[in-house]
Amino acid sequence: MNINHALLFSVFIVASCGLAYELIAGALASYLLGDSILQFSTVIGAYLFAMGIGSWLSRYIEQQLVARFIQVELLVGVIGGFSAASLFFVFAWSPAPFKLLLYLAVVLIGVLVGLEIPLIMRILKRDLLFKDLVSQVLTFDYLGALAVSILFPLLLVPHLGLMRSGLLFGLLNVVVALWACRLFRPHLPEVGRLRAQGVLAALALSGAFAAAGRMTSLAEAQLYTDEIVHAESTPYQRIVVTRWKDDLRLHLNNNLQFSSRDEYRYHEALVHPGLATLPNARRVLILGGGDGLALREVLKYPRIDTVTLVDLDPAMTRLFGSAPSLRKLNGDAFQSPKVTVVNADALQWLEENDESFDFVVIDFPDPSNFAIGKLYSASFYRLLEKHLNGDALAVIQSTSPLYARQSFWCVVSTVESVGLIATPYHALVPSFGEWGFVLAGRRAYRPPAAYPVDTRFLTPETTPALFMFPADMARVPAEVNRLNNQVLVRYFEQEWRQVIR
């Protein structure tokens, strides 16, 4: 391979690394801060702006272009490679400076990446015509970006995680630098010093890569006060299960989903007020609920013939169907012959499936980003209505009517906008406070006179109070959540930001 071909191949690698750092920063911000659209948008904007600054600054590098290119690669490799690990530790120990350091890292890496391609083009221009130079460099640049954009969600994050992925791409940048030292050795008076720097950088990144598992555990031990008993990254989320004495807790992307000490309150309130009023219900659909806890409550009814559970992440249903402590918690619900598990996007599944159901449980995470917000939209509820049998009911977890009051009533308004009768109610879950639910159907709802199954929290006498809203949770005006505006996500972000403050 001649020098020109080697440099063109290095364009492929540096382009892959450059985009990888951008994706890692966006994903890390989404995991830790929520609202993936906002985080990716601002990270990409800052990164591209910084690349423009780097390209502009390249004009001031006039001598020893190869040596400067090697130094840039080493800096990108070290700073970019350690960025995810460093930011994760910062957030775990002190979240306050995380945003500032995140964007400082993004801008610094962006400036350095912006220097790379102009330097390579100036090195190559001695041997290639301008039209060939531009077409070949940009071709390899775009191919590298394509490769990493495909590998990042499908292979790198699920199998390596963000920390190891960053360190791997840092190593690739350093390999490019060491390769350039070898290719241009006769023309580099400082080749020995550059090679030594590259070897040190490679050793540091390799050591960190080998210790990444322990580093992640150490950082998460600071982030979660309880013992971590399971942690994994999937293409969809970061799953962490913690334990303190007899209390198991599930966290998705750093957000608490349940505590085993009081989850029964949430799941009983989610399932029984609706299902107990449907004596003829035989077919049940659960959308979300990959932990199997709502499923456990549904299976208490002997009359139920089939339950279809649709959850996006196979890692969730696999974990809660296999880990002994979690199987005990959900009553081995996934082992029931009545249950069919489908790992798919709920919206797409409803579009592609024509089955009808007597009761539907919608147990999605809160609408903290637009990907989830679509599952609370008028379009989704319109599609849901087509899957309800005549007197069927659907129940929707709808965030807190106390802490996210307008968000809660936005869900109610959205359900009503598609012609369904919405019946809102709430229950106290100590881990979360007052939590809200909405029943949706074609007929007026009446609370059950009795519960035909065992319950720890609900009683016929206290159930009517769940449907009464005190003044601080009473209805407020809220727009309908539509796909083209996603107003619910904005409500949710604003209200929960005030709670955190």
Of 170, 205, 220, the residue that ends a domain is 220
Q: Which of 291, 363, 366, 391 is catalytic?
A: 363
248 and 185 fall within a common domain:
no
Residue stretches of the chain with pLDDT short of 70: 1-8, 34-37, 126-135, 137, 221-222, 499-501
CATH number at residue 28: 1.20.1250
247 and 345 fall within a common domain:
no
228 and 270 fall within a common domain:
no
* pLDDT score for 245: 87
144 and 286 fall within a common domain:
no
* pLDDT score for 56: 93
348 and 244 fall within a common domain:
no
Q: Are 406 and 481 a contacting pair, CB within 8 Å?
A: no
179 and 298 fall within a common domain:
no
* pLDDT score for 36: 64
* pLDDT score for 90: 83
Query: Which domain range does residue 334 map to?
Result: 262-500
Q: What whole-number distance in Å separates Cα of residue 83 and Cα of residue 216?
A: 13
Of 239, 257, 275, the residue that ends a domain is 257
What are the tens digits of pLDDT across the range 33-88?
Answer: 766 667 788 888 998 999 999 999 998 888 888 898 899 999 999 999 999 888 88
As a dihedral over the C-alpha atoms of residue 416, residue 290, residue 268, residue 230, rounded to 10 degrees, the angle is -140
Give the HSE-up count for residue 351: Cα atoms under 13 Å, Cβ half-sphere. 8
Q: What whole-number distance in Å separates Cα of residue 259 and Cα of residue 240?
A: 12
26 and 150 fall within a common domain:
yes
* pLDDT score for 499: 67
253 and 266 fall within a common domain:
no
206 and 88 fall within a common domain:
yes
270 and 395 fall within a common domain:
yes
Could you confirm whether 305 is annotated as catalytic?
A: no
* pLDDT score for 352: 93
CATH number at residue 354: 3.40.50.150
213 and 284 fall within a common domain:
no
φ and ψ of 235, to 5 deg: -60, -10
**Total structural domains within the chain:** 3
Q: Where are the alpha helices (DSSP H) in 321-377?
A: 324-329, 346-352, 370-373
215 and 330 fall within a common domain:
no
